[in-house]
Amino acid sequence: MALILVYILTLLPHPFFVSVTEIEYLSKEKVIGVSCKVFNDDLETTLKNATGAPVDIFKGDKAKNTIYLQQYFTKHFTVLADGSAAALRVIGYEIDGEACFVYLEAPLATRPRQVKVTTDLMYDFNKGQINMIHCVDQGNRQSHKLTYPNQEVLFTFK
């Protein structure tokens, strides 16, 4: 009986819409690294709507999906490091159960003191979307929750 209930629950859509993004300056590599975790089905639907093309995040062409991700993130996610736009590029993605991790990075010569994030990720999919943003500086973590229509957060470090 329990197995049947678990199976039925996996067929139902999830009741909340959330992404979790972590941003960190990697001094050794001299890049700002970003990982964004979203639900697979939400991301796939969003990319299909954005591109007008069929998207299969699981078994589809990874190179083509990366291009779609780059186009979507370029339009819906920006980072300013000390007032300068970080030239983020999608370096890949991976599936982990019901979630997809999208990885981005941008070269950055020095550690930023201020990081401004502007995002409306997945707001076009669902106005109930919650975007959790974590920014890590030398082990110190700051977090902020963005809900529609809010799109910006500023992190300041010493």
pLDDT in tens, 55-89: 999 899 999 999 999 999 999 999 999 999 999 99
Q: DSSP characters for the chain?
A: -HHHHHHHHHHSPPS--EEEEEEEEETTTTEEEEEEEEEHHHHHHHHHHHHSS---TTTS-HHHHHHHHHHHHHHHEEEEETTEE---EEEEEEEETTEEEEEEEEE-SS--SEEEEEE-TTTTT-TT-EEEEEEEETTEEEEEEEETT--EEEEE--
In a domain, 81, yes or no: yes
In a domain, 7, yes or no: no
Cβ of 107: how many Cβ atoms within 10 Å?
11
Pair 51, 68: CB distance under 8 Å = yes
Kindly state the tokens that stand for 156.
């300041």
In a domain, 1, yes or no: no
In a domain, 35, yes or no: yes
Q: How confident is the model at residue 143 (pLDDT cuts 50, 70, 90)?
A: very high
In a domain, 4, yes or no: no
In a domain, 124, yes or no: yes
Q: With CA atoms as reference, report the closest residue to 117 among 83, 78, 158, 75.
A: 78
In a domain, 49, yes or no: yes
For residue range 106-119, list pLDDT tens digits in order. 999 999 999 999 99
Number of domains in the chain: 1
In a domain, 9, yes or no: no
Domain that holds residue 93: 16-156
Pair 118, 78: CB distance under 8 Å = yes
Supply the pLDDT for residue 14.
53
pLDDT higher at 2 or 158? 158
**What one-letter code names the amino acid at 47?**
L
Q: With CA atoms as reference, report the closest residue to 112 among 133, 84, 90.
A: 84
